[in-house]
Amino acid sequence: MHDLIRTILAFCVVLGVLVFIHELGHYLAARWRGVKVETFSIGFGPPLVRWTDKAGTEWRVGPIPLGGFVKPHGFEGPDEATDEQKAAWEPGRTFHDKPVLSRAIIILAGPVFNFVLAFVLFVLLFATCGQPVPRNEVAGVRTGSAAATAGLKVGDTILGLGDLSSSNVSAIQKQVASEPGQQTTIHIKRGAEDLTLPVTLDRVASSSGGAKPIGQLGIEFASTPGAAQSFPRAVVSGAKATWMTTVQTLDGLIQIITGQHTARDLGGPLRIAQMSGQVAQYGFASLLSFMALLSVNLGLINLFPVPILDGGRLVFYLVEAIRGRPVPKKIQELGFQAGFALLAGLFLFSTFNDLSSFGLFRWLSSLAG
């Protein structure tokens, strides 16, 4: 299959599944709490396909696969609804009339379903393909990391670090973690050549919450599939993998926010599309693992306390539950405007990062020169 076609198909499948599961969480929670759902859309723009089910929900598939939405009946409150909308309200089935707990459950269900999806994908992966076993081969080098500065490349085989002559991945990781900010050497095999490269390890905060910083190299190790696990063991491994992925994702975001890593590591839709195409060529197991990782990311991002996201709405509902009345409409509107500006800025910044990593601006500058 042509690389571009594979990338587009993989991107649509990956993002389509993640968005569908997220919105399905909102939909099922709304139905559970007695709220009618007017619209369930996957993709934006004029619908390519639409139909209405017996419950009165219009299902849509849009041409722009960058998200989706569920519109509960009466999602707009009395202060913002038009007379026409108010006339169409069905008593007892509107979102705004439900208790704050019911509204919070409906909003929270979307991110929760993303974590559930990640867990299910990990269980399926471990039960069919086994848990991946890391190899001492470099599969990825993070931009701006200690490894990138030292000159490590994808495909290098790590033979040891400093005085450590072991090629065991766990031993290498333990050695790196114990030497934050230290100058050392890394012994590698590149093709038929043995090399020793000087490296100064990064100094980062511990993801376990410890007071002492730990060392970091900034690489991803390649892995090979392990033996398929029994279903009970796969469930336990899936739960652990979901938790570790969540912790590592949060740790990476905290490091970017605190300046321990460059914000250029942030990727956007173009990077996701590129990676979707890359992992698809390695087979079904790689695609499952990538989808699980993205699902955790989507769930976490939506829980951030930014007003336009699910997490921001949950903050408003928490304040409402404490004070006994909703947050003033003006404050909500200002919050949504600020949240939209923040997300728009992040989208533009991540897209700029994507285009930079693809070499677009270097190519344009070469044309200008």
| pLDDT score of 219 more than 70 | yes
The token pair at 73 is 């009946």
| pLDDT score of 23 more than 90 | yes
pLDDT tens digits, residue range 267-303?
666 666 666 666 666 667 777 888 888 899 889 889 9
Q: Of the ranges 33-47, 200-214, 318-332, which one carries the lowest mean pLDDT score? A: 200-214
Q: Could you tell me which of 209, 222, 90, 202 has the C-alpha nearest to residue 153?
A: 222
Domains and CATH numbers, the chain: 3-33+98-126+295-368 (no CATH), 133-224 (2.30.42.10)
Sheet strand arrangement including 219-224: 193-200, 183-190, 157-161, 133-141, 219-224
pLDDT tier at 113, thresholds 50, 70, 90: very high
Q: What is the DSSP letter of 297?
A: H
pLDDT tens digits, residue range 183-217?
989 898 888 888 888 988 888 766 554 557 788 88
Helix H or strand E segment including 60: strand 58-61
- What's the rounded Cα separation, in Å, for the pair 278 and 270? 12
Looking at residue 353, its pLDDT comes to 61
Q: Which residues are catalytic?
A: 23
> Which range has the top average pLDDT, 36-40, 220-224, 342-346?
36-40
The token pair at 60 is 């849509």
Across 165-170, average pLDDT:
81
pLDDT tier at 364, thresholds 50, 70, 90: very low
3-state secondary structure of 358: coil
Say what the pTM is. 0.74
By DSSP bridging, strand 133-141 and strand 202-204 are: unpaired
Across 80-104, average pLDDT:
85
